[in-house]
Structure 1
């Protein structure tokens, strides 16, 4: 048996038509409900994608706090927060406040982000930078965010403060002592994975990576994870890192599953281009089949074997009951067959 954390990743979509989830209110409420049901099933993590200007989950902190209030064990994560939009000081304060409410269960995935619904959306947040400039700025903000979570004191105290305080520089409050060990960087390349390791961030790798060799997606991704682990050892950090991959896994156990997914899957890896990428990316295939066949396929996925955490993307527009059904089949029929515990 191998220890493997299993979580779900939801985009939290809502759509007035062709969706069980029709409004923002329903999406947020059902996101909390799904986390509650997932915890009952033994799922380890409830993770949410963050996009702006879209009909889906936006700022994650209220949702994470609401889930924390209704659950007691499940990890609550982001996959990922786009640092092009973030003020690292406000973000650190929001994250640590939420983590205290969640009793140290927050897993904070951050990164440069993906193409958004509007052009240069961060400009509306007050950041007047080009996309090319944002590449380096997003990384710098990620490092500043991580540094603030370490609790180092940096702010010059007011000689006449409103409230009594001890001598010396001030840090952000409230302070969550272990939050800095639960920051993840979303990496699309080996070079970025190594950079994340050098700076002491866990590694999250999605269903796409840069197309750096002619090997299958899972092999390229596994190489990325191994490069990260090697770089971590060389860096000599004082805690063990975690590595995460995301997969689209749809078990077919009834007629509705077959109707929804058997003919609407992506059975092979696909190579394409993201809006701001000059180089191609490779998208991992969907795993759609009966549980015993899924087990055989997933055993051959080298990146899954290399990672300690697997996130299952869920079709949030199909509602809580259907997504809980998917997770139940994975936890009861698929995971045991893979030797996961």
Structure 2
């Protein structure tokens, strides 16, 4: 483990893109405005979450296609697209199309596993094949192969006046190197490394053992577990220590926040804190505490974080339920105070 943190090279942010069911257009427009603000502030990347049958972004590919036409420089990513809801061939076409439209700025992040509440949605999603669907890593491998230009069919050539390709069109050659896997377990970190992907590690990890992960008072140490995932990923990646990893904690700087905003942020973090005390559910998921404070305080806490010391790029997650004015304040403080305190310089 590095004894000191690396200077922060890339600063990004992640938003869920919530909207009101009575006025979904306003929420989507607000998400696009946040991405535009991020570009103006010099952020390197903007990421959107993927939410199905909820009041958040259900089609990040469509949202990022719109964002690609309202920005010119900022990288655009998904964190993450659950592939259990997707057909890899169709998704590969959509991703390549948006990458071409964006000028090569798309960073698709994906994950595997059955769709959330699968028993309730399977008849709508896979009415004829629900019990036969494979929601494991094979789905990612298929997507990677298609994005990277492997044949999707044994037919190509001219038929009448139409020309057919045996690989996904459009083909965007650089997209395959910008595919990310969002993982919280050693197995997923290892698989992503072995298949040459980049690795997204968020504020959730899986507790798989106790050796080297306990804090001073006994509970699992989130930072130590996350650090072990990063090392496992790089140990199996062809690029080794140079393999890209992005960390995605919830980080809320308060430098320019009003007293009311600071109180709201602190209450938000306090309400979510109990879930960080011990592993949650059958999957033994451990959540990181949300970080709230001045940029100087946050920089000190991050530099002491074992996993942050392993990375030089981040995509800090914005809280779910705040207003545009709150996000604007948080992003502005990130770009003008917290980022520079961590050694980062604005892009552009």
Aligned to 2:171: 175
| Post-superposition offset of 1:159 | 7.1
**Match of residue 148 from structure 2:** 150
1:334 is aligned to: 338
Is structure 2 residue 331 aligned with structure 1 residue 290?
no
Number of the residue aligned with 2:3: none
Matched with 2:328 is 324
Give the structure-1-normalised TM-score. Answer: 0.87
Contact 2:44/2:74 (8 A) holds in 1: yes
Distance, in Å, in 2 between the alignment partners of 1:107 and 1:279 is 27
Aligned residue for 2:218? none
**How many residue pairs get matched?**
325
How far off is 1:230 after superposition?
A: 1.1
- 1:307 matches 2:311: yes
3-state SS, counterpart of residue 244 of structure 1: strand
SS of the aligned residue for 1:282 comes to strand
Cα separation, partners in 2 of 1:104 and 1:333, compared to 1, 3 Å: same
Deviations 1:121-151 (A, max 9, x none): 3442226335xx76x5342111100000111
Change (3 A) 1:69 1:172: same
CA distance in 2, matches of 1:115, 1:89: 18
Give ranges in structure 1 of 5+ residues lacking alignment.
17-21
Structure 2 unpaired stretches of 5+: 1-5, 215-220
Normalised by the size of structure 2, how large is the TM-score? 0.85
Q: 1:263 corresponds to which residue?
A: 267
Shift of the 301–112 alpha-carbon distance from structure 1 to 2, 3 Å rule, reads: same
Alignment of 1:25-104 (within 5 A): 25-104=25-104
Name the counterpart of 2:161: 163
- Secondary structure at 1:7's aligned position in 2? strand
Q: SS at 1:51's partner residue? A: coil
Counterpart CA distance in 2 for 1:307 and 1:52 is 30
Contact 2:112 2:139 in 1 (8 A): no
How many angstroms does 1:85 deviate by?
0.9
Q: What per-residue deviation string (whole Å, max 9, x for no partner) do you get for residues 50-93 of structure 1? A: 01111110011211111010101111100111111110000000
C-alpha distance in 1, partners of 2:148/2:340?
Answer: 38
What's the C-alpha RMSD, in Å, of the aligned pairs?
2.5
Select 2:188's aligned residue among 176, 189, 192. Answer: 192
